[in-house]
Amino acid sequence: MAAHEESGYDVIVLGAGPVGQNAAERARAAGLTVALIERELVGGECSYWACVPSKALLRPVIAIADARRVDGAREAVSGRINAAGVFGRRDRYVSDWDDSGQADWVRGIGATLVRGQGRLDGARRVAVTASDGQTSWLAARHAVVVCTGSRPVLPDLPGIGEARPWTNREATDSSCVPERLAVVGAGGVGVEMATAWQGLGSQVTLLARGSGLLPRMEPFVGELIGRGLADAGVDVRVGVSVRALRRPGGGPVTLALDDDSEVQADEVLFATGRAPLTDDIGLETVGLTPGSWLDVDDTCRVRAIESDWLYAAGDVNHRALLTHQGKYQGRIAGAAIGARAAGTPLDTAPWGRHATTADHHAVPQAFFTDPEAAAVGLTAEQARRAGHRVRTVDVEIGGAVMGAKLYADGYAGRARMVVDLDREHLLGVTLVGPGVTEMLHSATIAVAGEVPIDRLWHAVPCFPTVSELWLRLLEAYRDSIP
């Protein structure tokens, strides 16, 4: 194995996905030199096998569903979705899995792109093994930031190797529509991919181990999405688990369930959780456990390391496995590193403190199902468990908002607002219905900013938009006060 001599940088970032890119960009903005290391494609999971391709697949499905909800438009919808056209659209948005454009962006911000498997090799030192087997060493004067993301977890079930299951990667990069698809798992990946592939022409069976879909959201979210999936033709089964799989000879796969029934499918997708991609990044050389999540403080500094040189942002720290939160953490980490390198107090930045405060109470999430689901902050149950004294108000969107009625005939959706009674501001907002994801940021501002209820009355929604829902929620809250 050939070796190259050591190079020095102020900051070394492991992983050039969106999280690593944001950390690198913010460190560069602070005047620091940065090396960005990537073993696969620059742009990471989000750009090529998750957020971008999944939404590219989902948008045509949702667009057709929206058209069918409007008199005069539904008559123009005929035939099936052109799957080849959808796949072509997806391929454009992932640049045919060519990362040269994103690699150019890295160079454009003045960072050095290093391709290969990066591994810690002691404090502030990283070894990079390239595809040709050559190893080079990099030294970080100030910090190393781990942004290596996560991988799908497959359960240890009899026959799972023989079944050759899909993960999120196959579910988003495949260009052949299986006649029958079984989806195991009812979190975000499961419900979105059930929506997409049913719309593309598969007969989908969705298997949920728990009592409902999207179990971490308000209970009515799973109810409405389950109803929407069933209306679209998905066979939704809750409270069932897979016991074993069979795929003899590479043909169809059989899933044996714990209720003694079986499901036959041409492909099976497991969307059953994620694990950190930290098993092969040299954690053992700095006293940490390979394959573990990395516990961090609010600047994304790894707590287990005494000095302030090791940071972890994005999925690896297990705070919020969402691309936008990871990018937010990357920005915070890069800015915190820059401030510490300059000896500047962290709370004096002109744009705000270098701390990931939104990770604690204002995490937004959106699912592009039919209907869409969006939420930020705490559910009512989470708020009560956290010790808050709360009042919850619900609004049926289609019945209360003229903009929703104009958006879709027979608009079906619901919204919930969770109010802290002691401080009179919002702790959480949940929305379900066509098009609601585009209203999520207004809710996020209200929750993250702790905007008082009496001030929200003066944020006047435009008529006739769906966002007039905000007025209806405030009115429902006013009417609920004894």
Residue 141 has pLDDT above 80, yes or no: yes
3-state helix, strand, coil in the chain (%, to 5): 40, 25, 35
Helix (H, G, I), strand (E, B) or coil at 276: strand
Q: Is 6-48+93-149+277-358's fold the same as 371-480's?
A: no
Tell whether pTM > 0.85.
yes
Predicted pLDDT of residue 349: 58
Residue 354 has pLDDT above 90, yes or no: no
Q: How confident is the model at residue 4 (pLDDT cuts 50, 70, 90)?
A: low
pLDDT for residue 1 is more than 50: no
Q: Which residues are annotated as a binding site for FAD?
A: 55, 118, 148-150, 315
For residues 27-56, average pLDDT: 97
Whether the CB-CB separation of 254 and 246 falls below 8 Å is answered with yes
pLDDT > 90 in the chain, percent:
92
User: What is the amino acid identity at position 400?
Assistant: A
Q: What is the rounded average pLDDT of the residues 56-66?
A: 97
CA separation for the pair 324, 472 (Å, rounded): 29
Strand-pairing partners, residue 146, are 14, 312
Pair 401, 467: CB distance under 8 Å: no
Residue type (1 letter), 433? G
Q: Which residue has the tokens 């035939």?
A: 79
The CATH code that applies to domain 6-48+93-149+277-358 is 3.50.50.60
pLDDT value of residue 352: 53
pLDDT of residue 360: 83
In 283-413, the DSSP E strands lie at: 310-312, 364-367, 372-377, 390-396
Integer Cα distance of 480 and 467 in angstroms: 21
pLDDT for 380-397, tens place per residue? 999 999 999 999 999 999
- The residue among 203, 156, 210, 160 whose CA lies nearest residue 183 is 203
Name the residue among 268, 287, 291 with its Cα closest to residue 194: 268
Q: Which amino acid appears at position 437 of this protein?
A: T
Tens digit of pLDDT for each residue in 313-342?
999 999 999 999 999 999 999 999 999 999
Domain ranges of the chain: 6-48+93-149+277-358, 153-272, 371-480
Q: What was the pLDDT predicted at 6?
A: 75
pLDDT class for 69, splitting at 50, 70, 90? Answer: very high
**Which residues contribute to the annotated binding site for NAD(+)?**
185-192, 273
Known binding positions: 55, 118, 148-150, 185-192, 273, 315
The per-residue pLDDT for range 193-247, each reduced to its tens digit, is: 999 999 999 999 999 999 899 999 999 999 999 999 999 999 999 999 999 999 9
Predicted confidence (pLDDT) per residue in 302-321, tens digit: 999 988 999 999 999 999 99
Give the pLDDT score at 357.
Answer: 82
Among the four given CATH numbers 3.30.390.30, 3.40.50.720, 3.20.10.10, 2.10.260.10, the one describing domain 371-480: 3.30.390.30
| Right CATH for 153-272 from 3.40.50.720, 3.10.20.30, 3.50.50.60, 3.40.50.300 | 3.50.50.60
What single DSSP character describes residue 302? Answer: B
- Distances, alpha carbon 334 to alpha carbons 145, 300, 328, 407, in Å: 9, 9, 10, 42
Residue 3 has pLDDT above 80, yes or no: no
Is 442 strand, coil or helix? Answer: helix
Q: What are the beta bridge partners of residue 270?
A: 184
Residue 39 confidence (pLDDT) above 50 = yes
